[in-house]
Every structure is written in C-alpha cells, then in structure tokens.
Chain A
C-alpha cells in the first residue's frame, strides 16, 4: 500500500513536470489548445465517476456543473476582475453547494429517477443563465484575458498547466476515496442499499458526500473554460455533450478503479480531437455513440474490466 502510494505521487509529479516542460519546449500553440480539452475531459470523467462510478448514481448533470463553473468565472471576472485561482476556488465552493442541494433533493430517488432529475437540473440552470443579462444572456459574453504571468509566456499554456493540476487533484481525491472507508461504503451501497444500511453504512450521508465532492470538482474543472474560449454562452457552456461525453468516457474506461475514467477519457477525447481535425466535429458524436454501444454490449465493465478478464485468463493458463 505504502509503496504504491509513493509510486502514485512520483507519477503525478512526473506528469506535472512533463506538462510544464512541454510549455517551455513546444512553440506551436495547437498542442496546448487540444491538450487542454483532453485534460479537461480526464478531470471531468474522474470527478463524475466519484458519484456515477463508486456510488452508481448516474449523473446526467455534468453540463450543469460545468456550465455553472464557466459562469462563476464569467461573473467573478466581470464583477471583480478576479484572478484565475479565485475563479476556480469559488467555482469549487459553488459546485459543492450545488452538489449538496442536488443530493438532498434527489438522492432518495434511485436509478433512472435520479438521472432524470439531474437532466432537469441542467435545463433549469441553463434557462436561468440565459435570462441573466449581467452575464450576457442568450447572446453570450466576451471575456478579456489578463496578461499572462511568468513562468508562462502564453495564456493557453498557463490554462493547460492549470488543467493538468486539476487532473492530478481529481485523481488524487478519487484514489483516496477508492482506498478509504468512504469507497468501501459507496461500493456497498452501490451493490445493495438496504444491506449496506443494515451493515451500519450511513448511505444517505455517504451519497451526499460523494455528490458534494463530485460537484465541487466538476465545477472547478469548468471554471477555466471561460478564459480558454475568451467567450461564454449558455448553449455551449451547458451543452449536453459534456454530460454524454463524460459519462461515456467513465463507462468505457471502467468505473471499478480510479484509472478507468482516466484511460477512457484519454482514449475517447484523443480520438475526438483527431476526428475533429481530420474529418469533422460532427463525426465525434457518432463515434462516441458507436463506441458506447460496443462497450455496453461487449465489455460492460469497460476497458478496466476487459483488461482484468484477459489478465485473469492468462494467469489461469499459466497455472
């Protein structure tokens, strides 16, 4: 346990170091522009799977949290000219509150009813923001980036690195939960809620906790989005695509282990980026759909489950 912990933190530090070195040696801006999106989806998928994977409560409201993150930044920049770290922290706090409220209202519902409630949440919040003139309403709003600070020479590079930090944060939290009593409790209630209660698991409290943590991370990941595009409008910030992609990435990667959503997000968002460049952005959605169907039928436990099965089989062959 201890050794794998050290390996994890060395890996995380190496990952951040590589991300940082990239900003120093690569002159072309495109890798950062595309890389930001990939990192963003890794963080979203990892954050989503804390509730959707560990607890088994399928949240279709990723876009609601993401959009609130974007608009929290928009508001803070317009009202106070707040710096990026303040935007992200505030978005996280709002996301936590939102997760708490959503959880309190909906976590007594199970299965599909919870999912429907989260879609409703997205629509309600999008409608509110669309009618909020101060942040641009339906027409959207232009955001001015502040001058970039050292050690970065370009704002997209800065955002790229910030998003890499958020990925490490999300993964570290997810990994901690998985290995702790929280993870065991969530897994128990995912398997059987009544049996979990009768074994002493405070199911409602654990679900709320998962909802709060997941919500805070989803919102925080959305926060730099305003600066990334230098523009925000409700229909793209609350685009249902975020919900569907995040869910697909987590499920295709596999939700039984924290690494699953990471792998799923890397595979899918990289494919999407390549397809956007080579064919068209519309093909993305098609590929996403086809892959989701293939995995649901062929490997319902995702890439992680598939790998475990193959590993198991080759082990048995050896004995």
Chain B
C-alpha cells in the first residue's frame, strides 16, 4: 500500500460526467472524488448545474457519457431506489414531502423500503423517533406533513433522508428562504449529522454557511468546475468572484 494517509479511497467517484438537455449542456465533463467523512460544499450561480449534478448522482437523471462510482461500484445505470438502498440519500431544493402522510409516516416509508436488514416494526419506530428527536421534530411526529412550516419541512426532508441510513447525504439548498436564525439551526443539524460514517454534500447559496460547514468546496459555472479547494481558497479565486459578481 503506497496510498498516502490523507487520500483514502473515495466514497463517491464521478468520472467525466456530462448531462445534456437537447442542445444545452447542463453538466460538462465533471470529474470529482468525494472522500469518506468529508463535508463537501457545492456552490455556483443559478443554473450552473449543481442540482443537475445531484440528480445524476441520485439517479433521477441518466447520464450520457460519464461514470458514477459509489464505494467502488459502478452505479451509473442503477435506478434511484437502488442507489438509495446502497446509501445515497438526498433532500430536495423544493421540499417534496409525502403530503397525504404524517411526519412519522414519511419517515416510515424510508425505513420500510431502504432499511438494509430486517428489523421489527417496534425497532423501526424507535429508530424513527430517534431521528425525529435528533432533528427537533419529535413533537411533530403525528402532525400532517402539510401542516409543517418551511423550516420544519426542510428538517423533515433531512430526517427522511437520514431514515434511509445513508453513507452519503446530499442536502440540496436546505437553507434557501429561511431566516438567519433558522439557517443556523439547520446548519448546526447538518454539522451534527456529519461524521466519519456519513459524508455530506451541501449545495448552498448562503456563503457563510458554506464557509463554516465545508472541508472542501467546489464551484461550478455553466456546468464546468471552475474552482476546488478549501473554502478560503475558493472564495479568493478570481473566477469564482467573477461568476458570482459578474465582471
């Protein structure tokens, strides 16, 4: 083994991934390795391809050229639910709760279908309540999903993702449209979820949040990687500043 200690085998490896919609290239030849346990920030102006990249990782979109490897397995052609069962979970930019269900039932769907081993209903309920408590949603367990506030919806999305028992959690703008105290609340949550076993990719527009959260930041513009590095390196990058502020 000649592998250096600072470069363990990647959890997720994206190789030359491209996604086109007709003549429009949303993601253009992106390659990146995400290391296990990493807190990875993904930034870029609107329409730069962040969510498209996430959709390709979670399986909502098929990629044309390009490969997605998860724990050394090629998952490029797997359906989304197969990827979820392998440990990739996500939240959605615009929350997509199961509207006819309660908060508890929303989580039970994930526990029923994505659980890796057979566990009893009682155990699943315990797990569910544990996650809800961790998320600060325990008091809302029996509330209808439609009755939640915006910040509660965001938390429930993260809770539902956590219920699939992920190894990689992708948070797609979980803080968009929240007040600054709510942003801190969600950010603290994400920080507390991140661990050696749970790697997190965070897409965010709120720069302070990205700076505080990330070990490493990647910036996309027009589907291409224009910068990658520590948060301060990326912020200092000329092209990133141009992409965000215009020239």
Contacts and interface: CB of A to CB of B under 8 A. Distances in A.
A175 interface: no
Interface stretch (A88-96, A148-156, A180-188, A223-231): A180-188
A191 B99 contact: yes
A198 B61 CA distance: 12
Tier of interface size on chain B: 20 to 34
Contacts of B163: 199
A147 interface: no
Contact of B98 (A195, A197, A200, A202): A195
Given A184-B108, A187-B101, A191-B101, A202 B96 contact: no
Contacts of B100: 187, 190-191, 256
A232 to B, nearest CB: 40
B81 A203 contact: yes
B105 interface: yes
A185 B60 contact: no
B114 A200 contact: yes
Contacts of A184: 105, 108-109, 112
B98 A181 contact: no
Interface stretch (B13-21, B84-92, B198-206): B84-92
Contact of A187 (B79, B90, B98): B98
A195 B108 contact: no
A199 B59 contact: no
A201 interface: yes
A199 B105 contact: no
A192 B96 contact: yes
A314 B229 CA distance: 61
**The 7 residue pairs across chains A and B that have the minimum distance between CB atoms:** A200-B114, A200-B113, A197-B80, A195-B96, A191-B98, A199-B110, A200-B84
Interface of A: 181, 184-185, 187-188, 190-192, 194-204, 256
Interface of B: 58-60, 79-81, 84-85, 89-90, 92, 96-101, 105, 108-110, 112-115, 160-161, 163-164
Given A191-B100, A198-B80, 9 more contacts: A188-B98, A191-B99, A192-B99, A197-B84, A198-B60, A199-B109, A199-B163, A199-B164, A202-B81
